[in-house]
Amino acid sequence: MAGDESAYAVFLERVARHVRGFCRRRIVHGGVEPEDIVQETLLAIHLKRHTWRQDEAVMPWVYAIARFKLIDAFRRRGRHVEVDIDDFAETLAEPEKEASMTRDIDRALGGLATVQRNVVASISVEGATIGETAHALGMTESAVRVALHRGLKAIARRFVQD
Amino acid sequence: MNTHDLIKAIARDAAAPRPSLGLLLLGACGLASVIAAIVFSTLLGPRPDFAQAAHTSRFLLKFVITATLAVTALFQVAELARPVSRSSHRVALLAIAPAILLAALLMEIATIPAAEWGARLVGTNSLICLTMIPLIGMGPLAVFLAALRYGAPTRPGLAGAACGLLAGGLAATFYAAHCFDDSPFFVATWYSLAIAILTLAGAAAGRFILRW
């Protein structure tokens, strides 16, 4: 799981598919958006990857984290006031928009320090490499790496706080 | 940002170093022991007749019980630090220290006349025991909770309680060198109560501190 970026990305895409199915089967009615849990789980898997023992199967570890994140999300959302579904009848009839699926991470991204936000946006949305980002933002490569790592940690923290 | 974009960002961060969780916990044990030793020697220090007492089995048994508790609690902390536990039967290890204490209690009941039981249970310094063990254990508890933040405990309250138990066992091991009451009656009552205070504090703190 260490080192090779493209192999890691392939692994994370596979994890995302599994966790998406896992969450959709368990989120029966609204309040918690499955894609928020997928993203939260991916960040946790990345930032807590040292808690996986190398001699153990990886998927039970992935599902243990996904289950924890799902329960935690239900618990957090549970604090909010329930509203009558009739209020949203019209909205619910609308087809699900792509933008509404990822509201949590965009809010988290918006709360980052400017440098971290620029670095994360450059690498994720624009798909730039570390080197390209460093060149575009006038930073050293190691500064970009640090900003990226801190940015991801800050996003994960904001997921838990909201 | 969609999930695919997030994965691109995460993959670029793959090279960030990840120190071993086990090593970090061991380091935490070392730091916690140093803190406990400093607080103990500043506030209390060993009892004056330490050398003579070290020849009596009751005195030595206190260390066996508290150290056993600390070691078995450390296994629990290491287990609860990860989302997947390796073996569920490790919980049974926690019964070893109470089992030794129970055996010592039975020996005491068999060898000491019933009229003395009350006096031995009340002891001479129960209030010092109840304040000093939590005081010595506070720093170590903070260290263990901080170390667990690097882990991924899926049961934060329980993980915090295990940290409290570990801090309590460690603190009681130091405190036992000062304590004049060596009877298992005293240990079972006041040491347990003092360690329970740290365990409850750990459980309460864990719910807030160990979120990730």
pLDDT above 90 as % of chain B: 75
- Is A62 within 8 Å of A15 (Cβ atoms)? yes
User: Which residue among A5, A51, A121 sits closest to B83, beta carbon to beta carbon?
Assistant: A51
Q: How confident is the model at residue A99 (pLDDT cuts 50, 70, 90)?
A: very low
Query: Which residue of A12, A49, A103, A142 is the best one to mutate when testing the B interface, meaning the one whose CB has the most B CBs within 10 A?
Result: A12
Chain B residues with beta carbon closer than 8 angstroms to that of A67:
154
Q: Quick check: is B174 in a domain?
A: yes
- Is B202 within 8 Å of B161 (Cβ atoms)? yes
Q: What is the pLDDT of residue B52?
A: 84
Q: What is the pLDDT of residue A3?
A: 57
Set out the domains of chain A in order of their start, with CATH numbers.
1-96 (1.10.1740.10), 102-162 (1.10.10.10)
Answer whether residue B98 shows pLDDT above 70.
yes
Q: What is the pLDDT of residue A27?
A: 80
Answer whether residue A46 shows pLDDT above 90.
yes
Whether B14 and A61 lie within 8 Å, measured CB to CB: no
Chain A residues with beta carbon closer than 8 angstroms to that of B5:
124-125, 127
State the Cα–Cα distance between residues A114 and A120, nearest whole angstrom: 10
Smallest CA–CA distance, residue B47 to chain A, in Å, is 43
Structural domain containing residue B99: 32-44+57-209
- Count of domains for chain B: 1
Q: What mean pLDDT is predicted for residues B134-163?
A: 97
Does the CB of B87 have a partner CB in chain A at under 8 Å? no
Q: Quick check: is B23 in a domain?
A: no
- pLDDT tens by residue, B111-144: 988 888 888 888 888 999 999 999 999 999 999 9
Q: What is the ipTM of this complex?
A: 0.86
Q: What is the pLDDT of residue A15?
A: 95
Q: What is the pLDDT of residue A101?
A: 55
Chain B residues with beta carbon closer than 8 angstroms to that of A4:
14
Residue indicated by tokens 């365990």:
B199
Q: Quick check: is B11 in a domain?
A: no
User: Which residue among B2, B19, B212 sits closest to A160, beta carbon to beta carbon?
Assistant: B212
- pLDDT tens by residue, A117-142: 999 999 998 889 999 999 999 999 99
Q: Quick check: is B8 in a domain?
A: no
- pLDDT tens by residue, B39-78: 999 999 888 888 888 888 889 999 999 999 999 999 999 9
Answer whether residue B24 shows pLDDT above 90.
yes
Q: Quick check: is B27 in a domain?
A: no
Q: How confident is the model at residue A80 (pLDDT cuts 50, 70, 90)?
A: low
Q: What is the pLDDT of residue A79?
A: 56
Instruction: Give the pair of three-digit tokens for residue B137.
Output: 């254990």
User: Which residue among A44, A56, A148 sits closest to B12, beta carbon to beta carbon?
Assistant: A148
State the Cα–Cα distance between residues A21 and B185, nearest whole angstrom: 56
Q: What is the pLDDT of residue A86?
A: 52
Q: What mean pLDDT is predicted for residues B26-39?
A: 97
- Is B18 within 8 Å of A54 (Cβ atoms)? no
3-state secondary structure chain B: CCHHHHHHHHHHCCCCCCCCHHHHHHHHHHHHHHHHHHHHHHHCCCCCCHHHHCCCHHHHHHHHHHHHHHHHHHHHHHHHCCCCCCCHHHHHHHHHHHHHHHHHHHHHHHHCCHHHHHHHHHCCCHHHHHHHHHHHHHHHHHHHHHHHCCCCCCCHHHHHHHHHHHHHHHHHHHHCCCCCCCCHHHHHHHHHHHHHHHHHHHHHHHHHHCCC
Q: What is the pLDDT of residue A95?
A: 43
Smallest CA–CA distance, residue A21 to chain B, in Å, is 14
Strands (E), A96-157: none
Answer whether residue B173 shows pLDDT above 80.
yes
SS3 for A98?
Answer: helix
Q: What mean pLDDT is predicted for residues B18-27?
A: 93
Answer whether residue A36 shows pLDDT above 80.
yes
Q: What is the pLDDT of residue A20?
A: 92
Q: How confident is the model at residue A98 (pLDDT cuts 50, 70, 90)?
A: very low
